[in-house]
Structure 1
C-alpha cells in the first residue's frame, strides 16, 4: 500500500502525459486527413475553422510543431515511467518493475497513438476545428527554434546525400521514351505505363476533347437545396450551379468527397469554377486545377458561351484508368466497338485525334475536334439517322440519335468498300 501511495503522483503525471500525447497524435491525423472540400469550407467557417485552415497553409510548420511536442511529451512519459520502475524494483522486486515497464509501453502505444488517430480519421473536421486554437498556440511557441531545426535537417541531408542534385525538368518526350522502354522490359509496371500514357494524352489533348458536353451534365439554378438532388448522384459527381440566367456554370460542389452539407443554400458553400477557352491544352487545365485547388473548369467558345465542363475526376480517370477515351468515361461504352463485318460503332463525341491514332492514319486538316463536328460541317445540319458522309478515308453512317444530342456512327474504311 505504501508503494502505491508513493508512486501515485507519478502515475497521475503519466496519465496526463498520455492524454497530451493523444491530443497531438489526434491533431496530426485530423489536420492532414481533411479533404479538399473541408479545407475550402474551413476558410469561410468559424474562428476555429479559419485557424485550422490557416495552419494548413504552412503544412511543414504545422507538422514540425506537432511532431516536436509529441516527441517531448513521449520523452517525459518514459522518463517518469523509468522513475516509477526503479521505485517498484527497489520496493517489490524486478518482476513487477519489468511488468510495469511493458504495460506502460503498451498504454502509450494504444492510448496515445492507435486510438486517437483512429478516432481522428473518423471525425477529422470536428476534431481539427476543436484542436485548432491550442495547436496554433503550440506552433507559435516553437517558432523561435524552427530555424535551428531547419538547419539541423539541412545539415543531416547534406551529410547523408552530399551529392544529391535536383533532376532537370522532364519533357513530354522523356515520358514517351519511358513508355517505349517499359514495353521492351519489365522495369515499369503495367499500371505505371498506363499512368504515363494518360499524362501524355493530356499534353496532346485540347479542353474541348476532354470536356463533358453541355447536354451531358445538369445545372441547378440557385437557391439550391439537397431536395433538388432527389437523393441521386449527378452524372459528373459534382453539383454544378448556374448563374441567375441559367446559362453558364459559375460554381460547383464535389458531392463524392463532401462530408457535411447544409440542407439549403448550397450555393453559398460552392467554389467558383475556372474558365478556359475550347482550344486550351488539357494539361494546362489540369495544372491550374492543382495549383488553385479548383476541381471544375468551364469550357467556353469564341463567343464566351459555356459549351462544356471539365472536372478533376475526369482528369484523374484519364490518367489512372485503362479507358482514356471520353466515350468510356461519360457514355460507359468502348470508343471503337468492332462489328463482325469489320465496321466500327463510334460515338459522335470521339475526337479526330483519337481517330487518327487508333487507325494510324494521317487525316485531312479540319478545324473540328470531334466526329460530330465533321458531320455537321459536311451535312450542314444536325446529323440524323441514315445520314451518310464520306470524309478522308472513312465512310460515316449515323445509326442512332439520342435526345440529349448523342449520336452513334457506323464507321467503315472507304478503301475496303472499293
Structure 2
C-alpha cells in the first residue's frame, strides 16, 4: 500500500488524524467540564455559541456517542497508517511493534493529555468552537449514533440508570452554600454573608430572635391615664402593645402615628387609645423565619406577638428583626447593640443572664449551642442540671463560664471567656 500512496501523503494524513484525535478528546473534556450555570446565563443573554452547547448537552449520550465514534475512527485509522509507514522503514517483523509504541506515546501526549488538560482549564475556549463542528457531525452520523446509544442505554438500564437526559443542574441548599463560599472575590464578602443568611432563615424560628416577654414594654390600661400618656410620649418604639392587667390579655398594637389623633384632643380617654389600636397579629413560636418573612409581606404587618402552644405570649418579633438576620444589625453602635455584654480588663466578658445566646455568638464570634435554651441563664442551668446556690464554674464547648451573681433563683451575670484565651487571675 505504501507503493500506492506516497509516504509524504501518508505522513501528512497521519498528522491530520492526530490533530482530529486531539480535537475530539479536547471536545469531550471541554463539553463535560464547562460551567453549566455560566453557560445557562450566557445562553439566556442570547450568546449563540452557548445556546449551541446547551442543545448538545441536553442529550449527553448522543454528544458522547458522536465524539467517541469520531475519536475511535481517527485513532484506528491513524494506527493503520502508522503501521504501514513503520513496516516500510523497519520491516514486517519489528514495524508493527514500533508503530504501536510510537503512536501510543504520540497520541497520549499530543492527542489526549495535553488537549484534555487545556480543555479542563479553559472549557469555554474549546466547547464553543467545537460545537460548530459537532452539531453538523451529529446530524451526519445520527443513524450510527442512534444505534450505539440504543445498545449503550440498554446496558445502562440493566444497572438501574433510566434517565439519560442531561442533568437539570438544580442545586440543593448545601450545594448552593458551597457555591457562595467558593465564589471568592467575584461576590463581595458582605454579599456572601447576606446570601448565606438567607439560606439559614429556615433553620431559625421566631422564638430564636424575638424580644422576650419580660423585655416587652407596653401600655397597661389599668395604669392611670397620665402614666399611659407619658409612656406614649417618651416611647422609643413606633408600635406599642396595649394590654389590660397582664400582657397575655393583649388588646392590640398602637402605632404612634395614630396616637396623634387622640393626643391632639383636649380630653383623652382610654377608650380612644383602644380605638386606635390595631388588632394584634399572633405568630406561633416555631414559625421559621423564611415563612414569617413571607407572612409579614402577605399580611401587610411589621410586628407580631409570639405565642406558645398554649396561647401564652412569649414575646414579640418585628420585620426589622428578620431583616437584621440577613443584613446584620442596622446600627453601628456596638455598645448599643450589646448592652448585656461587657468587656473586662482581663479580656473576659461579663454577660447578663438574660442575654440571648444567638446575640452573644454573633457579638463575640462564639459557638455556644442554640438548639436548647435561648438565654445564657437557661443554658447554664441546663448544663448544671441543678440550681447553683453560689458561684460556680463550668465549661461549655470552647467557652468557660463562671457564675458571678445569683438573685431570686436566676443567674443574673456570668463571667465568660474562650478556653484558649484564659484571662489573668484576679487578686
Q: TM-score, normalised by structure 1?
A: 0.45
**Computing the radius of gyration over CA atoms, which structure comes out larger, 1 or 2?**
2
Q: TM-score, normalised by structure 2?
A: 0.45
